[in-house]
A and B are shown apart, each in its own frame.
Chain A
């Protein structure tokens, strides 16, 4: 009798053990699936920086043209250049959108330069971004250069609880404008 009960218990034990093993396999599978879930960095930030640069340059060209029309002196003499630069720098400082774009995530030699440039913004424009030596007469035209600056930012994935790979984004840009004057009409071109 006792042997029969032992056999019944053993049978039940086998069934329960099978169920337990199935449960363990399903559980470990679920855990494994959670572990391999990942979240990737969206490319949207890169596209938006590029669009913001386009907007900045549209406004910059507009400001160059209006500054040229307001400048005094004979094109392209030094008096004209000084007048043009003064008006341009003033217009730039008044435009918050341009100012915020150029300062955001600004870096210099691997270090953040945003705060330093914001504190001394006029100096940054006159002595860095649009250095006087980079504005010069060349064969009857005026060369007006925006020095290369570098933005740096860390792009992160939306869901940091999943496997994710932050991306260090560097974005360097600058531009050289060639300004010509044909019969009193200024033309601004760039490469």
Chain B
């Protein structure tokens, strides 16, 4: 009698475990999409943002370049460099 109960218990436990494993694998497969999104992967390739390639540096550089262009124009029109850079607010160098 006990042996029969044990066999039935074993079968039930294996059946429950199988369902749990199937659920775990389903969560794993479906959850991989969420993990890919969380780590910034797009179609298997990690996308580098603008900081990684220095593009944000260029955004920071451009305003000063615009001021340098102003200085060049002023100098071409006859203004002295020191005065032109002061007027344009150009400070690098």
A residues contacting B by CB (< 8 A) are: 1-8, 10-12, 14-15, 18-19, 22, 25-26, 29-30, 33, 36-44, 47-48, 51-52, 54-55, 58-59, 62, 97, 101, 158
Contact = CB atoms under 8 A, between A and B. Distances in A.
Contacts of A19: 24
Contacts of B5: 1, 4
B46 A36 contact: yes
Nearest to B2: A1
Interface in B25-63: 25, 28, 35, 39, 41, 46, 48, 51-54, 57-58, 60-61
- Which of A26, A36, A58: most chain B Cβ within 10 A? A58
Contacts of B24: 15, 18-19, 22
Contacts of B21: 14-15, 18
Contacts, number: 108
Given A15-B24, A22-B28, A42-B54, A58 B72 contact: yes
Contacts of B28: 22, 25
Given A12-B17, A18-B25, A40-B54, A33 B39 contact: yes
